[in-house]
Amino acid sequence: MNPVSLLGHCTELLGQIERSRATPADVLTSSYTRARKYLGAKERRALSEIVFATLRTKNAAEHLARTYFDESDLPQPSQALAALMGAIAAIAPAWASFNPQEVLGLAAGSSTDPDQALAALYTRIHGTELPSTWGDTLRRMLPKLECSPCNSAQLALAACLPEWIVESLRTGGMLESEVLALGRALLRPAPLVLRSASLTQSREDLLEQFARDGIAARPTPLSPSGIVIEQRTYLLDHPLYRTGAIEVQDEGSQLVAFALAPEEDWDILDACAGAGGKTLHLAQLQRDRGRIIASDADRRRLEQLARRLKRHRYRSIHLANLDGHRSLQRMQFDAVLLDVPCTGSGTVRRAPEIKWRIHTRQLERIVAKQERILEQYHAFVRRGGVLLYATCSLLPEENQRVVERFLARHAEFEPDPLAPAFERYGIGLPLSPDVWQLQLLPHRHGTDGFFVARLRRR
């Protein structure tokens, strides 16, 4: 496909994503490409990669492009085109190791100059030609976005994060240099990570199978069950997936079940089970010998777990579409897992639109819901039992502060160290003996952003 036409499609799709406040960007991308049958596999891949590179760098890319057009006294492009031009010409190659020339060249079938293609698209829309050096000028402006020390607005651009998230992280104690490192780590796509989910095959067995199949894979550094797939591969038809020997699950998500460290005979309540990735992992750790009640307020997500169970056939998992907590009256559990609904800010490597869609009012509503869930379900932990609170968030407001307020209200719970749980599985996280909550971060741990706090009922 002509690269100018492809970039025009990217601009159109970016506009659709910008206007949507709820539908995930990957769903919108899939719908967009399915509706345009003339787009081949190479064009679809290029469109997706360019759009997601733009979403990851959106605020800095748009700022850079708008500054250039202001200083050049040229017509301002649309929001989508400004972000696309700033991202592809400057920000994404410099900060996210994105190679637009390679991506466009594969789709076009020939060598392509991204600067020329973007200039041609701009001229097609505005009827005004850009100087041939516009891309070089944009790239020379990049150092102006670097700062030290930075105020929140400057750091937001340098880290490609909303200013309010930068302020949240800094208020929570994160240093400027670490906010920047975190923001830059979030600009890179997350790897495809699997969990070895078989009760009969080890991770090493699965790695050997992948090697025989010509699929490049390696073990994850932290999770003893994790496997990183190092090439673009469709696995849903692979025999290991169809038989339940593997599950797609980020390494950080895998560490949640290890943090619970269930005994094989425990009764466990997974009260926010969702599609059940952690539920299935808990059943595996218990070798299907315990009892797990999996529930979720969203019946549709629980139905996904029911479908997944057909591949695993665990007998220890029982689904319960609970009405609040009334169906659990008089029940007590050895452990309760609350993987609560959250902003999802820890997953923006996979869904970069999240960081531009969430806002402080939404955060307040989510935090209130998290506290309601804790109040609903903490009573179902037996004396001596474990309460594990987890999110896929980076934000202190829905992590440490929620747990701090809960402990202030409930003296019957106390912090319970994480180190013994992880040591039991040989997980080499450097934790001091008194650490009971953990924030996983992509620039430190290579995982999505997950938070866990382990509490025990006195």
The answer to whether the beta carbons of residues 118 and 89 sit under 8 Å apart is: yes
Prior bond of 93 cis (ω within 30°): no
**134 Cβ contact partners less than 8 Å away, ≥ 6 residues apart:** 68, 72, 89, 115, 119
Total residues belonging to the chain? 458
The DSSP bridge pattern shows strands 217-219 and 450-457 to be: unpaired
Of 437, 20, 363, 24, nearest to 167 by C-alpha is 363
Query: Cα separation of 82 and 413, whole Å?
Result: 52
The end-to-end CA distance of the chain, in Å, is 65
CA separation, residue 335 to residues 367, 389, 408, 458 (Å)? 22, 11, 21, 13
Return the DSSP state at 142: G
The answer to whether the beta carbons of residues 217 and 125 sit under 8 Å apart is: no
Query: Cα separation of 269 and 273, whole Å?
Result: 9
Instruction: List residues with catalytic annotation.
Output: 392
Return the DSSP state at 237: T
**259 Cβ contact partners less than 8 Å away, ≥ 6 residues apart:** 388, 390, 418, 421, 422, 438, 452, 454
